[in-house]
Amino acid sequence: MLSLRSTLCQSDNLGLAFDRYRRYRGFWSPGVTMYSVARSPVVPMLELAEELRAGRYHPTPPQVISIAKANGERRELRVFAIRDRVAQRALLQVLQRHTDPAMSPFSYGYRPGRSVQGALARVRTFLSSGLSWVVDADIQRCFDSIPRQPLLDEVIRRWGRTEAADLVAEWLGWDTAAQRDGIGIPQGSVLAPWLCNVYLWRLDDAMRQVHGAMVRFADDFVLLSTSRSGAEALLRRCAAVVEGMQLHLHPLKTSILDASKPFRFLGQWLSVPRLLTQGAAQAGGSLL
């Protein structure tokens, strides 16, 4: 079996990663424009492949920028050189091929062939089946709060060997024990969404064991049940799992909703189909 390092720097894998950024503006590396590399990519890509293969590759420290959020808070983003994004993308492609088939079918964010529209369609299916009570949940500052060492332990668990976690830690600058014991995934890293999904995999597995349903898009998700009491039980279970992962549900963005009234998820308004609510009313009862 090829090592992870050997697999990620194979020409077809690196070429696919490079194509993702071929038309980007900016700098391939300090002092080298992406425009010049895109015109003559062979030598820069061969150099990158050799550095990756030999273990001599070291990313350039990313530029840190601060962006204002709608709620008045600020979010730090790390802007990596395009060369480093290509390397991270090449690693991501290999990791995803291994892990994605085993991930929850109800997890939609940042996965190949999955989308916001797919997540919304799944929620509509659950609503149409009579799951009319919804826990609308959000993990508070998820990317900034994920503990790094437990995350790396999950990467080892899901990959099966330590090499993936070693590369992640090396490339994200978690070089010391103190850094690995810290919290937070750098937003702006190509690897960040995959790492978030890997860490929340434990939540996905736990919620598949309870009576109800879950649809997750990154750190934004809904739990669905046939009754308010069922939704309350789902919320209690979810909160306990999340707390056990050293994360927290956002108190202002997590609530139990009666889906006979429209609610907003992933930018769209959703509700139980009108025919179902009308049928329940005509029967003199409810959907519960």
Residues 142 and 64 in one domain: no
Q: So what's the pLDDT on residue 282?
A: 39
Mean pLDDT of 133-147: 97
Mean pLDDT, rounded, of the chain? 93
The model's pLDDT over 192-235, given as tens digits with 9 standing for 90+, comes to: 999 999 999 999 999 999 999 999 999 999 999 999 999 999 99
Establish if 85 belongs to a structural domain.
Answer: no
What CATH number has the domain bearing residue 137? 3.30.70
Mean pLDDT of 34-39: 97
| Rounded Cα–Cα distance for residues 96 and 276 (Å) | 39
Residues 111 and 39 in one domain: no
Residues 160 and 224 in one domain: yes
Residues 108 and 215 in one domain: yes
Query: 21, 45, 80 — which closes off a domain?
Result: 80
| Rounded Cα–Cα distance for residues 98 and 124 (Å) | 30
Residues 65 and 197 in one domain: no
Provide the pLDDT confidence category of residue 279 given band limits of 50, 70 and 90: very low
| Structural domain of 20 | 1-80
Q: So what's the pLDDT on residue 202?
A: 97
The model's pLDDT over 1-13, given as tens digits with 9 standing for 90+, comes to: 578 999 999 999 9
Three-state DSSP at 135 gives: strand
Residue at token pair 């291994």: 98
Number of domains, the chain: 2
Radius of gyration of the chain (CA): 22
Q: So what's the pLDDT on residue 286?
A: 32
Taking alpha carbons only, the member of 23, 65, 15, 70 closest to residue 42 is 15
Residues 4 and 145 in one domain: no
Mean pLDDT of 14-34: 97
Residues 70 and 200 in one domain: no
Q: So what's the pLDDT on residue 274?
A: 65
Residue 276 has pLDDT above 90, yes or no: no
Percent of the chain with pLDDT over 70: 94
Residue at token pair 């332990």: 153
The model's pLDDT over 51-101, given as tens digits with 9 standing for 90+, comes to: 999 999 999 999 999 998 877 778 899 999 999 999 999 999 999 999 999
Establish if 97 belongs to a structural domain.
Answer: no
Residues 19 and 55 in one domain: yes
